[in-house]
Amino acid sequence: AQSVTQPDIHITVSEGASLELRCNYSYGATPYLFWYVQSPGQGLQLLLKYFSGDTLVQGIKGFEAEFKRSQSSFNLRKPSVHWSDAAEYFCAVGSMNRDDKIIFGKGTRLHILP
Amino acid sequence: GAVVSQHPSRVICKSGTSVKIECRSLDFQATTMFWYRQFPKQSLMLMATSNEGSKATYEQGVEKDKFLINHASLTLSTLTVTSAHPEDSSFYICSARVGPLYNQPQHFGDGTRLSIL
């Protein structure tokens, strides 16, 4: 069964600084990978997804993520964060099987210092 | 595109009341919708998968008689929390998948904050 780990519960960066949120997955075949963002009291918004092809994926709001099979990672990056990026970020992995489930990591809360 | 509307956004009610939460896909047809529960500062816990025209598939440990799910059309799924108790208080989120393929992403509603007094 697939699983996903987000090692950092909290991350704090200064506004304008670069950001990298870590995500490691476990799956026997090529996974389908997602990053979602959740603002307080709201649902989840899809930032980007990876299914196949180019391992560097561009998303919305200036985010990108790179799929590294050798490291079983799908880290999320942004070159310069804005105060509005403060939120909870979830990495998720999907299965190629008929099993419909997407498994979510426990999330990383991003704090932005002014 | 791919907008999911969830209603109501917040419910406060007395213990023993049944509460219905609606999840609508506004600009696409969703053959599959998902219901999640999120505890404070935790990840999403999948409760059930709702397929249009058929019975929902519940995750282990989720009481199907407690959490009734109906997916009567390609744009609407409902979750009814029957005889709600304070331990049912939580943040409930629905999502809908665009198209039938299992590798397509889910799009989420804004959630419903349920508080049982």
For residue B102, the model assigns a pLDDT of 59
Rounded to an integer, the average pLDDT of B52-77 is 91
What pLDDT is attached to residue B101?
63
Please give the pLDDT value at position A66: 97
User: From A100, which residue of chain B is nearest by alpha-carbon distance?
Assistant: B102
Q: Does A28 or A61 have the greater pLDDT score?
A: A61
What mean pLDDT is predicted for residues B20-47? 89
- Residue B6 pLDDT > 60, yes or no? yes
The 10s digit of each residue's pLDDT in A63-107 is 999 999 999 999 999 999 999 999 999 999 886 665 557 889 999
CA nearest to A46 within chain B: B107
* pLDDT band, very low/low/confident/very high, at B58 (cuts 50, 70, 90): very high
- Of A105 and A1, the structure prediction assigns the larger pLDDT to A105
The pLDDT tens digits of the residues spanning A32-44 come to 899 999 998 888 8
Check CB contact under 8 Å for A105 and B43: yes
Identify the helix (H) or strand (E) that includes residue B106. Answer: strand B106-108
Q: Is B102 exposed, middle or buried (0-12, 13-18, 19+ CB in 10 A)?
A: middle
**Of A70, A114, A111, A63, which is closest to residue A91 (Cα–Cα)?**
A63
Please indicate whether, in this complex, the C-beta atoms of B102 and A95 are within 8 angstroms of each other: yes
B109: which DSSP letter?
A: -
